[in-house]
Structure 1
Amino acid sequence: MYNMLRDSGYFVETLGSPFTCFDASQYGTLLMVDLEDEYFEEEIEKLMDDVIHGGLGLAVFGEWYNVNSMSKMRFFDDNTRSWWTPVTGGANIPALNELLAPFGIAFGERILNGDFSIDGEQSHYASGTDIVKFPGGGYVHSFEFQDNSESSTTRSSGMTKESSILGLTEIGAGRVVVYGDSNCLDSSHMVTNCYWLLRKILDFTCSNIKDSVLFSDSARISFPMHEEESRLPSRRTDVNFSVYSGVLGRELMCHHDSRFEVWGTKGYGIQLMGRNRRLPGYPTTGLDIDLNSTTKASESKKIHATKLKKNSSVTIIQEALARVWTFCVHSTMRRLICQFSSQHNGWFQL
């Protein structure tokens, strides 16, 4: 995907700080792909404001998450002479659901596999999840897939079931898209890529260009999709996730890969720790006010992405769970934002 963005004229740089550390009025879309970590409460609140009031676009690519399946993946590693068990699934769906809750969106716990086609484009859905909550008036695409989750009753019988995997909607001043699989964006795992879908998604979230197939009347839902909160995927209670997380037990802080003016602070729209900083010759931004509450989304767009390191050792996994961002600027000055996770399909602990 990185190469596709570069070939399409995007510039990429990294930022390993929370959502509060970028000024969303300068960007068009936040693209989040296969994420495993948790989120600070301030990040959830800021992202909600950025989308609803600031007009920021949001595109989320999820992954599988099923506690029963993870529990049965425990194995003995001959190299370390110890038992390993997954810390989370391909993505941290409970955390993503908390992030998406203000928009009325949630992923489920199915592990889906199969092939599908949209407008003649063939794609493979590899260990993705389903969408179980989505706001009315949005556009949802569903297909038949094999459910391989351990809690599924269809696995033993080999039956398939129609599941919702792609949802697109306008929320407030912003636009939100969710898709339940990220393998089609990962060159190390993909069977077929879905770059064609990513381009259509970014056209919508950045420029409100609606593809006639993705936004067909047949895909529009009149009433909200609903799932009881008690039936949504839950976190594992037998794993101390704080050992691996860059959020749990940590303090919200902007690091040196964010703008200089927010170094050592909690970021934009939050009471700062210390005084504002500025480089010689550059104006100081008033960071004690919410930059997104009254700012219209800029017509120029940006992409911001996060990619975590791929490594199987536990010490590197702890480091890898620290989120890293990547900015991509289109040659035509359309701006987007993307966030990535590692290429693991789940973290393991000793």
Structure 2
Amino acid sequence: MQVSILTAIIVIISSSCVYFFNYQLTYNDMIYTLSERSRRIYEYAEKNIDKDTFTEINSKEDQSKNSYKSSKTLLESIKNTTGVMYLYTAKKTKDGSLVYVVDGLDSSRSDFRNAGDLIEKEIWGDLNKALDNNILLPKKIKATSWGYIFISYFPIHNNDGEVVGVIGIEFEANHQYNTFKFISIVTPLIALLTCLISALVAVVLFKRISNPTYTDFANTDYLTGLKNRNAFEIDMNNLNNLNIKKLISIISIDLDGLKKINDKFGHQTGDLYIKHASKIIRDVIAKKHVVYRVGGDEYIVILKNSSHEEINTIINNINLKIIEENSTNELKLSMSIGYAVFDDKLDVSLFDTYHRADSQMYDNKRKFKTRD
């Protein structure tokens, strides 16, 4: 958990840094490029536009004048060459209104503005700043009623250096806006996904390095790989609390003669004896039921929904397997086995069932010692 949290934090911080750096860098570069294009258009337009339009052109009727025609031809040419969406000049009338002077759009278009038409009021503030001899270059894409655009305004000066009007340069920026909006949504999602994957990989690798067998050591017997006493106690309590005791049977197994083997051949041989016995029990039980090694030579099997016949079959199979293995193995295995099925007339809890199975096992062990 600590490894996964640390990895997640590192990924989030690094992804955020990369995201904000790249986002700001590319966004600012886009704004800079559009600003430079606008400046070039402005410099060319102010140098070549007929300044008389700002005094002579006041209404649609004035559009027949040569100053209007030459200025419109100039703006149309610039627009077609540079790919500007809107290019127009504007001025302030004597009553303080802001109106179009020359529109660079084709006059057949529905959004074409005639001389004297009022400018949309949402951009009056910026136009007034430009009329005060300020160049307005935005730092971000602007949302307007006609779409996302990059709008810049430049003052137009007469030969005496006085501001007589404004030129508005608008680049369509829906594509840029949608691209950066997509980046702002998708990038955090990718970072989150990467964070989860990295945390998972970190946990897996940490377990692989620190615990190559992926063993739950708190509940696993190190020698045999079976569940241990701790796991047995926990599982028994859980089964009791689930109130499914009537479905449970318990087999108690004890290895015969382990102490003699330890005394005669040493504990290493004794460990081999235990491993060999564990393998037989595990092979017979398979994965259908749970096997626990609860002591040096003691095993418990918890079974669910098993009849007496099935349990006897399991015990017989264990004994047959022992006979088969003993025919080829120098260590002659022997096990004492007992079992009990939960009986609510005899048992209050599964531990009572376990004690009955254990008692039967010891009865069989005493018989083995008598024969021995």
User: Is TM (by shorter chain) over 0.5?
Assistant: no
Q: Please, what TM-score do these two structures have when normalized by structure 1? A: 0.20
Q: Which has the higher helix share?
A: 2
Is the radius of gyration larger for structure 1 or structure 2? 2
Q: Greater share of strand residues, 1 or 2?
A: 1
Q: TM-score, normalised by structure 2?
A: 0.19
Of structures 1 and 2, the one with the larger relative CO (CA 8 A, separation 6+) is 1
